[in-house]
């Protein structure tokens, strides 16, 4: 007997039960939800008055299995703004169905989150990008989605969102502009870029032919996460902002001896983490003073 997509869907009631359990455990009522990518979990450490939950202790929550993902849900305040932060996310290559990967985003919604900030580590396809650049995501290519692996497959519950959500405005343009402005003020202009992110299933890194193809399709960076979360966040009516830290240059030359590896991803994350944290913290501060951006 084969499983269908609906077998993996989580009902509104199941998501609400988990959200309600968390709300009983903490007095923080987050307006901003942050998802930390590989090596970027330090974002959660800058939250004040922390209340921390290990994923394994949260009812029906997935477990993170990837090095560089701590597997903790951290509630607290950032510059006075109540936030919740995922130290570690979930991926298709861990064997989870896409509906389970995105379950935390639905729980964010039911916790009261209105704006989601996502970060990831990515390989640079744009030849003008350098390792250590931070790319503001303005759009995406959902390669697994082309094959029907979309988190919205299965029954639709109108309490979350409509059956056919628009994705042409998935990435909030006002938040993109805010990030660009804040980045310039912080002196990050030399390494702050913008571009299109392409998601693949992983866990193997891309071949040279795949990188060349994706670049020709218009992708500036490639990774194994984020897009599924963006789709669910928009389905739930939340505003979305996303950043990619370029941790390696994708190999597109058959004569190159460069090889992509996860250790390089984590090391670059450590080197650039402080600037990325400053950028996100400054953005949240500005959002606090402009409720239109929440």
Question: What residues are annotated to the active site?
Answer: 38, 69, 91, 93-94, 121, 224-225, 248, 262
CA R_g for the chain: 18
CA dihedral in degrees (36, 40, 46, 49; nearest 10)? 40
Q: Residue 183 is encoded by which pair of tokens?
A: 């980045």
If we measure between CA atoms, which residue out of 92, 99, 96, 90 comes closest to residue 11?
Answer: 99
Residue bearing tokens 């390696």: 248
Identify whether the C-beta of residue 99 lies closer than 8 Å to the C-beta of residue 151.
yes
If we measure between CA atoms, which residue out of 275, 264, 79, 290 comes closest to residue 189?
Answer: 275
What is 194-233 written as a DSSP string?
Answer: EEEEEE---SSPPPHHHHHHHHHTT-SEEESSSHHHHHHH
Other beta carbons within 10 angstroms of residue 213's beta carbon come to 14
Q: Which residues of 11-44 are buried (b: 16+ CB within 10 A; e: fewer)?
A: eeeebbebbebbbeebebebbbbbbbbbbbbbbb
Helix axes 103-111, 12-25, angle to 10 degrees: 60
């Amino acid at each position: 007997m084969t499983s269908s997509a609906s077998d993996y869907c989580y009902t509104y009631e199941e998501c609400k039960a988990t959200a309600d359990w968390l709300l009983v455990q903490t007095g923080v009522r987050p307006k901003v939800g942050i998802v930390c990518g590989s090596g970027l979990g330090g974002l959660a450490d800058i939250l004040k008055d922390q209340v921390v939950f290990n994923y394994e202790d949260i009812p029906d929550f997935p477990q993170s299995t990837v090095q560089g993902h701590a597997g903790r849900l951290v509630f607290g305040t950032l510059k006075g703004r109540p936030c919740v932060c995922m130290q570690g996310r979930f991926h298709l290559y861990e064997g989870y169905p896409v509906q389970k990967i995105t379950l935390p985003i639905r729980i964010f919604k039911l916790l009261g989150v209105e704006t989601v900030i996502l970060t990831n580590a990515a390989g640079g396809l744009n030849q003008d990008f350098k390792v250590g650049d931070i790319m503001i995501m303005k759009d995406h290519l959902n390669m697994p989605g082309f094959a029907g692996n979309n988190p919205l497959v299965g029954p639709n519950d109108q309490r979350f969102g409509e059956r056919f959500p628009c994705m042409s405005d998935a990435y909030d343009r006002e938040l993109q502009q805010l990030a660009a402005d804040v980045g310039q003020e912080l002196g990050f202009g030399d390494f702050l870029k913008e571009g299109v992110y392409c998601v693949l299933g992983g866990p193997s890194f891309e071949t040279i032919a795949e990188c060349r193809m994706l670049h020709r399709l218009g992708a500036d960076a490639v990774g194994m996460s984020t897009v599924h979360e963006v789709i669910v966040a928009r389905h739930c009516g939340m505003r979305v902002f996303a950043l990619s830290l370029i941790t390696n240059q994708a190999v597109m030359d058959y004569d190159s001896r460069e090889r992509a590896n996860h250790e390089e991803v984590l090391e670059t994350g450590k080197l650039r983490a402080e600037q990325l944290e400053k950028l996100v913290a400054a953005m949240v501060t500005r959002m606090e003073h402009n409720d239109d951006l929440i």
